[in-house]
Amino acid sequence: MKSFLFILSSLLFLNDNNGYKIGDLATNFSLPNINGEMISLSDYDEAKGFIIIFTCNTCPYSIAYEDRINALDAKYKPKGYPVIAINPNDPAAKGGEQLVDMKKRAEDKDFSFPYLQDKGQNIYPKYGATRTPHVFILEKQNRGNVVQYIGAIDDSSRSPDKVQKYYVEDAIDALLSGRLPKVSTTKAIGCSIKTL
Amino acid sequence: MFYSKYLAFLLFCFLLSAQSIPSLNYTEIKPLLNQKGDKIYVVNFWATWCAPCIKELPYFESLNQRKDVEVLLVSLDFPKHKQSRLLPFVDKNKLQSKIVHLDDKDENYWINDIDPNWSGALPATLIFTKKQRGFYEQSFTASKLDKILKLFKP
């Protein structure tokens, strides 16, 4: 019985970790931004791809990256890879994560990118996001939006001046020059996604 | 005479309350994650900013009453917050577990080295004995932790 439970719990655990792998097609979504307007990947006719970042208002790691996310959007939106930030936390499970809080944060930090709420929390599990911040780079191909990178923004969450590896920039630069990213998955410490 | 006793007593209280918390890199911490004693080693990765971590800390603290369990709390607080947040928190809550502060920026290496299934989210807990090893990227309740611990034999 015990071993059965153990196997069962490992299966459940594996199931928790299900999400996209490199090469998978990412689902489209339609989620509200801070002004309540619905935003969807299909709104972006001109884009070559997307930098999807699951992030939130309260996680210190997310906060540490806000300026760098603005900088990524400034650099790569003109090249066809806009940032789309999605807050995956259930506002009922964590204070400071409601749409009004998101609006305030976006205005205080001058977000140049859409900041969406994963209302109903249906999208982050499909992607397999487990923490904030968690990046998924999608490349638009004929068959759909292909996942080409999953992981961290760079190798120095805690101080921007100590970055040695610019994971997201390197991955997009590769895609823009017709190559696959050399490093396509990375890990970093982050905050768990809050659910009830 | 009275004063020297008094001072000694104060010093004693101070030593009891303020445990020193070393800041270590991953190479220095790794041996603590691979011990071969006759115990169940419970290593909890946490930070003072992580609300679900704080919530489950008392369950790990209470394991210190068990002779067959050894608890290690690995703090992932930002280095700049060690003095201003971590030490005061440990002091205020009178934490009894052994605590180390992991200060190593090569997260992409050591997260996988600790366990390939760890995505990097906190809280996370490693439980191991000489022969068994389990990694749990989740929050615990007292009863959940108790159930999982029953799967381990020191």
Q: What is the CATH number of the domain that holds B62?
A: 3.40.30.10
Domain annotation for chain A: domains and CATH numbers: 20-192 (3.40.30.10)
Inter-chain touch A60–B49, beta carbons under 8 Å: yes
Residue A158: pLDDT band by 50, 70, 90 thresholds? confident
Could you give the CA distance from residue B28 to residue A21 in angstroms, rounded to a whole number?
33
Q: How far apart are CA B60 and CA B136, in angstroms?
A: 14
In a domain, B1, yes or no: no
Taking the Cβ of residue A4 and every Cβ of chain B, the question of whether any pair is shorter than 8 Å is answered with: no
Kindly state the percentage of chain B with pLDDT values over 90: 86
Instruction: Look over chain B and give the mean of its residue pLDDT values, rounded to a whole number.
Output: 91
Contact yes or no for A156 and B105 at CB 8 A: yes
CB contact, 8 Å: B107 with chain A?
Answer: yes
In the predicted model, is pLDDT for residue B3 greater than 80?
no
Would B10 be classed as within a structural domain?
Answer: no
- Does B121 sit within 8 Å of A191, measured CB to CB? yes
Q: Is residue B14 part of a domain?
A: no
**B41 occurs within a structural domain:** yes
Say yes or no: A191 contacts chain B, CB-CB below 8 A. yes
| Structural domain contains residue B4 | no
pTM of the model: 0.88
Q: What's the number of domains chain B is made of?
A: 1
| B117–chain A Cβ distance below 8 A for any pair | yes
User: What is the C-alpha separation between A107 and B71, in angstroms, rounded?
Assistant: 43
Diameter over CA atoms, chain B: 59
Question: Do A87 and A56 touch, CB atoms closer than 8 A?
Answer: yes
Mean pLDDT of A98-104: 96
Asked if residue B6 belongs to a domain, the reply is no
Top pLDDT among A139 and B3 is at A139
> What would the pLDDT profile of B28-70 be if each residue is shown by its tens digit?
999 999 999 999 999 999 999 999 999 999 999 999 999 999 9
Q: Minimal Cα–Cα distance from B61 to chain A, Å?
A: 22
Judged by CB atoms closer than 8 Å, whether chains meet at A158 and B121 is answered as: no
Mutation test of the interface with chain A: which of B54, B78, B81, B107, choosing the one with the most A Cβ atoms within 10 A?
B107
Q: What's the gap in Å between the CA of B57 and the closest CA on chain A?
A: 16
Domain region containing B144: 21-149
Q: Which contacts of A20-23 are long-range, i.e. CB under 8 A and separated by 24 or more positions?
A: A20/A126, A20/A127, A20/A128, A20/A136, A20/A147, A20/A150, A21/A147, A21/A150, A22/A147, A22/A148, A22/A149, A22/A150, A22/A184, A22/A185, A23/A146, A23/A147
Q: Check CB contact under 8 Å for A130 and B107.
A: no
Assigned domain for B37 exists: yes
Chain B touched by A193 (CB under 8 Å): yes
Q: Quick one: pLDDT band at residue A91, thresholds 50, 70, 90?
A: very high
Q: Is the peptide bond before A91 cis (omega within 30 degrees of 0)?
A: no
Confidence of residue A159 (pLDDT cuts 50, 70, 90): confident
- Give the model's confidence band at B76: pLDDT under 50 very low, under 70 low, under 90 confident, else very high: very high
Contacts of A23 (CB under 8 A, 6+ apart): A146, A147
Residue B57 lies in a domain: yes
